[in-house]
Structure 1
Amino acid sequence: MGALFADDLDGGHFCTAAVVRSADRDVIATAAHCLDHPDTTVFAPGYRDGEAPYGVWRLTDVNVAPDWTDGRNPDDDIAFATVARQDGVRIEDVVGGFPVATEQPDDVTVTVLGYPSTLDAPLRCSNATGLFSPTQRRIDCPDLSGGTSGSPWLADGALAGVLGGYEGGGTVPEVSYSAVMGDQALELYREAAVPAG
């Protein structure tokens, strides 16, 4: 898990992302609205206090749903992106990756890890979720303010969602949202995680 920056660490972090397991060991998950400028976005796993202990990784490709591209549908506010190798090394070999878990129960308990834009260390919150709608999940957690978009929602150590969706993930720090990870999200994940050919 780490922070997303524009170009380098000097610009300040604006979203959160997490490495997920993949065949090429190079995929991260975040909110689709965090990747409006993928050509200049970099990922710093384990970022803390101005330091990137596992390096800074440049994005190479982004997988988002057509309904996100065409109309920014909040039900599709999830993205999977690949990152370039560093000196032939893949990111998952350096930091590991979370499995992806769809089809979670309505009240699944998750742990949310994210970087508010005002802090240089991540926050953590665990709580039961509930369905806000058939396509949106909500959680009550304090302090998940701007910058925590894209934060992984982990159920038993597996990615069950990312902070985003309805109202861009929420308009007050105490209540956050995630699009329900269903068939569309699973297809995006497979496109990113399994190389073509």
Structure 2
Amino acid sequence: MQAPFRGLALTALGSATLLSSVLVPASSASASTDPRPVVRALATTADAQSRVGSLWTAARMRSAVPMERLLYFGGPARGTVAPQAYPDKGSAWTGGGQVVKSTGRVFFTYQGRAASCSGSAVVSRNESTVITAGHCVKLDGAWHSDWVFVPAYENGNAPFGKWTARKTLATAQWGATEAIQYDIGAAVLNPLDGRSLTDVVGGREVAFNQPKRQPMYSFGYPAAAPYDGSRLTYCSGSTTVAFLLGTIGMACTMTGGSSGGPWFLKFDEATGSGVLNSVNSYKLNLPFLSGNMYGPYFGDDAKSLYDQAQDA
């Protein structure tokens, strides 16, 4: 697939050098005739849930390839990232708090390969909703299978269990054209041992139609060099607005595998809590912007997705 804007090269989130296949102009992004989010049924039976849960052993989770690495050839690794005070461009999160439990790795099968992204448990009426990136539920016209969320993942360990998805969803625009401006997905998870997701790990509040330029924190599990997917990582700083697309950006070195990880407004380092307002999505392969990460703006389309997911 080719990026429709000539000369504007995108990278799937975190990969050092690669061309995008999902950038769509705003005029094309609104081409969908159905404004409702798109829904895909997954592990809806006990047998399916058991099979998917058993599939993701510690070894298989460790071997899962960042989603973006299955699509493109990776580039040269970045240097080691040293911890810094705010702002931060990509350090291991050592602050603890609520974000550790509610953020996790996402694992799924894409075209027969084990792949990974990141996601966040959110407050919802069904107590079972995860927000992630659209390309972490569907890409190139195909929905991912064997989808699980592992909160507080650490080097193959699942301290709060492996939660199978019974449904995954994407915004109407991502479902129709995979427009990067609307790269937002969600999953509705099955109960585990008789309990719902947010009863176990809590969930973050979600906000919509907020100002685009303000201090934010992003989190994820980058798994491409120099990271290995074993630890929760974060970036923080003031956001900018991407030219033409209207997405928001932040200086960040996180790599493939962090896609779908949460961006927070009003983040409190002491408690690890904040209000979710975007997700890790893509990078621009341009010298003066390659150090930035971008996420979709959470407007009315994101709210429609969230509302449908939390009532599913």
Q: How do residues 147-158 of structure 1 correspond to structure 2 at under 5 angstroms?
A: 147-156=257-266, 157-158=274-275
Mapped partners of 2:297, 2:204: distance in 1: 17
1:135 aligned counterpart, secondary structure: coil
Instruction: Tell me which residue corresponds to 2:151.
Output: 45
Deviation digits for residues 94-124 of structure 1 (CA, Å, limit 9, x no counterpart): 0000010112222121111110112300111
Gaps of 5+ in 2: 1-102, 267-273
Residue of structure 2 aligned with 1:22, choices 124, 129, 137: 124
TM-score normalised by length of structure 1: 0.89
Alignment of 1:137 with 2:254, yes or no, is no
Q: Is the 8 A contact 1:113 1:125 kept in 2?
A: yes
**What amino acid is aligned across from residue 233 of structure 2 in structure 1?**
L
Q: How do residues 1-197 of structure 1 correspond to structure 2 at under 5 angstroms?
A: 1-6=103-108, 14-36=116-138, 37-117=143-223, 118-133=228-243, 135-141=246-252, 143-156=253-266, 157-164=274-281, 169-171=282-284, 174-195=291-312
Mapped partners of 1:114, 1:120: distance in 2: 10
Deviation digits for residues 114-135 of structure 1 (CA, Å, limit 9, x no counterpart): 1011230011111110111463
1:170 aligned counterpart, secondary structure: strand
**What amino acid is aligned across from residue 5 of structure 1 in structure 2?**
F
Mapped partners of 2:293, 2:128: distance in 1: 27
Q: Is the 8 A contact 1:108 1:129 kept in 2?
A: yes
Tell me which moved more, 37-46 or 47-56: 37-46
Q: Is the 8 A contact 2:206 2:277 kept in 1?
A: yes
Mapped partners of 2:180, 2:129: distance in 1: 22
**What amino acid is aligned across from residue 120 of structure 1 in structure 2?**
S
Tell me which moved more, 179-188 or 102-111: 102-111
How far residue 190 of structure 1 moved from its aligned partner, in angstroms, is 0.5
How far residue 49 of structure 1 moved from its aligned partner, in angstroms, is 1.9
How far residue 174 of structure 1 moved from its aligned partner, in angstroms, is 2.4
**What amino acid is aligned across from residue 170 of structure 1 in structure 2?**
K
Q: How many pairs does the alignment contain?
A: 187
**What amino acid is aligned across from residue 138 of structure 1 in structure 2?**
G
Mapped partners of 2:118, 2:107: distance in 1: 9
Mapped partners of 1:38, 1:95: distance in 2: 24
1:107 aligned counterpart, secondary structure: coil
